[in-house]
Amino acid sequence: MVSQRKHFLRSENPVVKKMHMLVLVLFATSFSQSAITVSGVVKNLRTSEAIEGATVKLLKMGGSAVTDVDGKFNISVTSLIKFKKRMPFGDINSLILNHESEGIVNIRIFDLSGKQQAVIHSGKLDYGVWKVVPPYLSQGVYVCLFESQQEKCAVCFVSRDKKKNSCGDVLQKLQSNRNQSNGHGLVSKEASDLKSVDTLLVTKDGYRSSRHAINSYNVSGLMVTLEDTSTIQVDNAVIIPDPSWTCYMPEGIPPPESGSASFTITLQYSACHDVGLTQFGQRRQFDIKSGTIKGEKLNADILSGGLDYELTLSNGSVEVEQINIFRTKDNTPVLMRNAGVAPAGEKNVRVVLDFEAPNSSSCKWLHSGKYAATRKIDSAAKTITMEVYDVTNVTNPSQKIQIKDPSGVPNQTWECFKLSGSKGAEVFTENVTLGSSINIGASKRGSRNIIPITGGTTSGRVKGKILSGGADYQLSGLDARYTLAPSDTDLIIVRNCGSNGLVPVFETRVNGKYAFLNETKYLSSGPEMGSGGVKITFYEAK
């Protein structure tokens, strides 16, 4: 049960008052229901055969189902109960809506931080008296927001035991957000930017569990695949990456150990940043401060300023990108940009390595081979270790693991975006400090020059600093990778690149203050002389 305190956030039109919160006793036995319905089928990833007996759960709303012999499931959870009779007053343990005219209604639940916890209803709602049935919520204070074209109101309620939180404070905050939203509703920007309303967890013994984000509580025809761990062992299978993240080997990455041992890479990281849930997935960033490469043919030192980007997708699979520079013992600089993947439930990522060495150097042999490794993280020692193998002559095994990115989610970018539109309103400006250039010169992709990024500041709508790390990896244009650290702690990953005009891609929390940057609708000026380095200004595209 929930207990409630009643509050109203009045419409700016005082004449129209169609929605009211009532406190009623729920004596009636005659009612109709508006149900949450999520249905689909669960199949074997390798064979596409239906899986019987898999458990499918809605993590926020709490409903569940078990697949039948055809692999089908149907979850039905009552979110609203309509009473055919007006109920007497008296019971304060329910959330009741008296909706006096048919129309579009949004009913959502948020915690005190403004994070959306559930969508109870979104769409057309008949007139009448409705009881709101919240999903399972942990102990605490929540706000139920009601929005129609005529009226907006909010009710603060306590789930389970009462806690010492102020409903008045959060409602005042929501009212303030409403006043600043230019008529776009009561919900703050942080909440409205969330891309999914719930997550499906699918489990069955002998299979890897799988999570899938859903964007609606009324959806059918979902296709969910599970990997059969009883017949496929990752160590003995080829991993085929999703077409959006081919890792230089679209035909598949073989088990690294099936090749010949070449060298060992040890990356020492200074920090691991939990960037949070971004438009691409759950992001972590490792700042590389040093490291070594040791082997019979290659010995080198990893330079400070490298980056390791780890992305966990909503279906549990992982994608990794690494950008590092090393110098061999004869002082030859080499750029190393690696990419890797791991299926859901697999701890260690399988990585394909790519090198750009000077064509005139003794390291040119790195251009011709195919190299793969398994990425292993030791959080206590703050190291990332990769045993690298030459897999040039390896034949892929017959067993395959296909990586498939979740549908409805944008893919992280590998190549630069093309310029589109012209510069509009100014968003923010950077003053970037730079280190000494590292010139690789003519290499397998052209002439490469690298300018390390050592820090800087930002002003405008994004105020704060620029972390030391990353660089402008120039190749027929600019290709800068670095991270912004605004004063209020949210991190913003930046890739700003192009050969005919610069197009930035920003990545930050979808429910954070800077979530507006996640949309691909910005342009960048070219670098100009600035304090201690270069000045760059970002604009809205028009």
Segments of 234-393 assigned E as strands: 238-240, 260-277, 282-295, 300-302, 306-312, 318-328, 333-342, 349-353, 355-356, 371-378, 383-390
DSSP string, 194-214: ---SEEEEEE-TTB--EEEEE
- Domain spanning 234-402, CATH class: mainly beta
| Contacts for 26 with CB less than 8 Å, ≥ 6 apart | 83, 87, 91, 94, 131
Question: Structurally, what CATH architecture does the domain formed by 39-74+196-226 represent?
Answer: Sandwich (2.60)
Q: What is the pLDDT along the chain (542 residues), one digit of tens a residue?
A: 344 433 333 333 332 333 444 433 332 323 334 457 899 999 988 778 899 999 999 887 777 899 999 999 998 776 777 765 555 444 445 677 777 778 888 888 888 888 887 777 777 888 888 878 776 667 788 888 888 877 788 888 887 543 444 454 544 544 444 443 332 222 222 233 335 677 899 999 888 888 888 887 788 899 999 887 765 678 889 999 999 999 999 999 999 999 999 999 999 999 999 999 999 999 999 999 999 999 999 999 999 999 999 999 988 899 999 999 999 999 999 999 999 999 988 889 999 999 999 999 999 999 999 999 999 999 999 999 999 999 999 999 998 999 999 888 999 989 998 878 899 999 999 999 999 999 999 999 999 999 999 999 999 999 999 999 999 999 989 999 999 999 877 999 999 999 878 999 999 999 999 999 999 899 999 999 877 789 999 999 99
Burial of 142 (0-12, 13-18, 19+ CB in 10 A): buried
Domain ranges of the chain: 2-38+78-191, 39-74+196-226, 234-402, 423-541
Of 337, 390, 336, 331, nearest to 361 by C-alpha is 331
The CATH number assigned to the domain with range 423-541 reads 2.40.160.20
**One fold for both 234-402 and 423-541?**
yes
pTM of the model: 0.63
